[in-house]
A and B are shown apart, each in its own frame.
Chain A
Amino acid sequence: MSVTSESVAEEKTLLAKTSVGFWLYLMTDCLLFATLFATFAVMRDATAGGPAGRDIYDMPLVLTETVILLISSFTCGVALLGMMQKNVRQVLLALISTFALGAAFVVIEISEFVKLINEGYGPQASGFLSSFFTLVGTHGLHVTFGLLWLVILAVVIYKCGLTSKLSRSLTLFALFWHFLDLIWIFVYTVVYLMGVVR
């Protein structure tokens, strides 16, 4: 009896520690993005005679990206609900959909980048493009790392079921994924929408 209550308490402190720690990590990441946003805000007009944002943004494509990422946040939430109901099948299905959507997002972003670079508007072309590629690319890199985390998590959950450690990890992953969604909302607004309005 005392052993179980002890291990429950242990699990609780462990969850407290990891979630406080992860929130703090997310804050540091938030500041990393804040720095890149500030740089973008300073450099958005530093086009050095090259194109400005409104000349090169493919807005319908960016909207598609945004919708895809938002839906992936929803499926990620479904995975978390499944975890709470101890429904491994639901967790895995939701994670697979999240992966597919996240991967689609990354593929679209890469295709956008490749197109710009082929047109001669790579990150070396001007200060504006440097800050654009770095801000959007850093977000994309985060999503890519999220996908890697997701794959490992899904494989291990498939093998071992929802152990307490994996549930903790899934909770943190969900935080991370929603955080990236939030950052993207800012990217969409500050970089794209504010770039095309005058």
Chain B
Amino acid sequence: MGIDWSFWLGRLGWDALPDNIVTVGGAIGGVLGVLFIIGLITYTKRWGWLWHTWLTSLDPKKIGVMYLIVAGIMLLRGLADAVMMRAQQALFATTPGVSPIDADMFQQVFSAHGTIMIFFVAMGVMFGLLNLIVPLQIGARDVAFPLLNSISFWLFFAGMALINVSLAVGEFSTAGWLAYPPLSTLEYSPGTGVDYWIWALQISGIGSLLSGVNFLVTIFTMRRKGMTLMKMPIFVWSVVASMLLVVFAFPILTATLGMLTLDRTIGTHFFTSDLGGNPMMYVNLIWAWGHPEVYILILPAFGVFSEVVPVFSHKRLFGYTSMVFALMAISVLSFTVWLHHFFTMGAGANVNAFFGIMTMIIAVPTGVKVFNWLFTMFRGRISFKTPMLWFMGFVVTFTLGGVTGVLLSVPGIDFQVHNSLFLVAHFHNMIIGGVLFGAFAALAYWWPKFTGFRLHEGLGKVAFWCWLFGFLLAFVPLYILGLMGAVRRLDHYDPSLGWQGLFVVAGIGIVLILVGVFFQVLQVAYSIWKRKELAVGPDPWDGRTLEWSTSTPIAEYNFPTLDEVHERDAFWAFKRSGKKRPTSFSSIKVPKNSGFGIYIAAAVFVMGFAIIWYMWWLAAFALVATIVLAIAAGMREHVERTITAQEIARTEKKLWGTAS
């Protein structure tokens, strides 16, 4: 009589450890990396500092930086997956047996690539920016619910952790980034991969949902006095549009993943291919969330460009009102196009025609925005700094992607290129050219606001040109391949098809992108090293919005006084009014640190892990722990501390002293 291990460990056993050379390497590398970081922190005795200054902080500026760090690391991981795919298709796909990656592994790689890039890079970058910029731009000191914000971040972190644990323990999904059933049902994917996918998304998705609520309330109730809706900076408007989509779309994801979970764990028949299950129901539901999701990602990037272009053209934004209407139109229309992801489902000609036309219509407000940016540049004094270069790269790639998108919206054409590399090239055009270039523009634009020095311009330009040409080299061949009939997710093809040359060109493209990433890392490292020489004041670009009116570095309370604003470009008007900075202050309340974000996310992480491995006792225990912790978090008292007027006067003197 031994212990019944299957009760305690579920289906977890030694066979969960990786056996493929690539996963072993990845797992060992990942574990060593984490151990190295832990060792470094222990050696430099920074745990207390890390805990008090960063991990438990409720300051959105710090939470924003943590989002960006996680997203940056995940970008490297997603890029590694992309390199593996490009290498496989360029070098090994024509001769079977030589590749270190087998078909199953290849499927895990592309599933992980898509999942990580969307959920843990694009979403992470977006929420990072929101945390950093939104409170400052609306002239507020914080978000509406500081603790909830921290919980959101740590749930995002827990989801990210789960997806990376799957590298070392178990496997990842082989069912693609949206895990279509019946492939993702228990019958065809009996392993833990799809479960890892479900719980990584479910947990981080709930974090996103809470963030969506939080930022909407922040923007609706905490704007500076005098800042009416139509005086908000356009980036904030883009956030409103995007967060409305979060609030309306993410519950669909939560419910859909919940139903897939039930199918896989208790044996219901929502999406199975037997007993009345309906796999197409899943495809409809997941895209009813998924299509708004791509706008959730792109709208804040539009907002970034709408800030960058006026500042670097030294002109007011052209067509503010039409910009706002375009944003709102996009957010409404984005719920009416989901079926264009599966025209081939067989919904019938009329249904396809409706969704095709809606898809063409949604291109109109997007076109309005592009023209607004171009008219903002028209007759402006344009300075070609890196943020502006990213914008111009974006216009080129995004227009290319937009045009191919409109092509795809024609059902007749879609039938020809459905699920081909043409589609893959199209959406990478939108997401790299749109979201990622927007994030890079934002990084270069707002970096000096938070650090006090700018990023090295020359290295940034080299990185930009590598990215732009690398991107075009990597994805234009995919358009051609798609038209030649190459479908997505191929791990091998016959050499007689003559595709290899174009795949090699695409492979060269990703090498160039890697060079670009290298220069970006170098740019950040070099700029930190040379920060004295690159030091700038609190308003280096002659900015127009309120975030540039603060000191650099920004005080914990953001603004010492909350003066009424009267203009759309509030700081621009202030600079021309000849008014002086305030000299008398009153005390300010700021939220105290709290570890509840970490505790709750840790409990949720354990719950997710336990359900993935069928350790039901642990799952129940973690669920109870989560509920108890949530109740305790709700019952906290004395959640704020007061900064006295004298302290503020001292801080202000110190901050502005160093800045000027």
Contact = CB atoms under 8 A, between A and B. Distances in A.
A35 B335 CA distance: 14
A171 to B, nearest CB: 14
A42 B266 contact: no
Given A20-B217, A24-B217, A127-B277, A43 B270 contact: yes
Interface centre among B220, B275, B278 (most CB of A within 10 A): B275
Contact of B216 (A24, A152, A169): A24
Main secondary structure on B side of the interface with A: helix
A126 B285 contact: no
Interface in A134-171: 134, 148, 152, 156, 169
Given A43-B270, A48-B276, 9 more contacts: A21-B213, A24-B213, A28-B213, A28-B247, A35-B285, A46-B277, A124-B266, A130-B269, A148-B627
A23 to B, nearest CB: 9
Given A17-B144, A39-B259, A31 B248 contact: yes
A29 B217 CA distance: 17
B511 interface: no
A124 B144 contact: no
Contacts of B255: 32, 35-36, 39
A46 B278 CA distance: 9
B498 interface: no
B259 A46 contact: no
B502 interface: no
B208 to A, nearest CB: 11
Contacts of B631: 152
6 contacts: A20-B221, A39-B259, A48-B276, A123-B267, A127-B277, A130-B262
A126 B269 contact: yes
B276 A43 contact: yes
Given A13-B221, A25-B213, A134 B259 contact: yes
A39 B281 contact: yes
A36 B254 CA distance: 11
Given A21-B145, A21-B213, A35 B251 contact: yes
Nearest to B256: A35
B70 interface: no
A98 interface: no
Contacts of B144: 17, 21
Nearest to B254: A32
B268 A123 contact: yes
A127 B280 CA distance: 13
A14 B627 CA distance: 24
Interface of A: 13, 16-17, 20-21, 24-25, 27-32, 34-36, 38-39, 42-43, 46-48, 123-128, 130-131, 133-134, 148, 152, 156, 169
Q: Give the interface size class of chain B.
A: 35 or more
Contacts of A46: 269, 276-278
A48 B281 contact: no
A127 B214 CA distance: 36
B252 A31 contact: yes
B250 interface: yes
A182 B278 CA distance: 28
A28 B145 CA distance: 17
Interface in B624-644: 627, 631, 634-635
Contacts of B267: 123-124
Contact of B266 (A31, A43, A123): A123
B610 interface: no
B220 A20 contact: yes
Given A17-B144, A42-B278, A46-B276, A123 B285 contact: no
By Cβ-Cβ distance, the 7 closest A-B pairs, closest first, are: A127-B276, A46-B276, A130-B268, A35-B255, A31-B251, A48-B276, A32-B251
Nearest to A29: B251
A127 to B, nearest CB: 3
A128 B281 CA distance: 13
Nearest to B282: A39
Nearest to A28: B251
Contacts of A28: 209, 212-213, 247-248, 250-251
A71 B654 CA distance: 62
A125 B256 CA distance: 20
A16 B221 contact: yes
Interface string B253-292: 0111011001100111110001111100100010010000
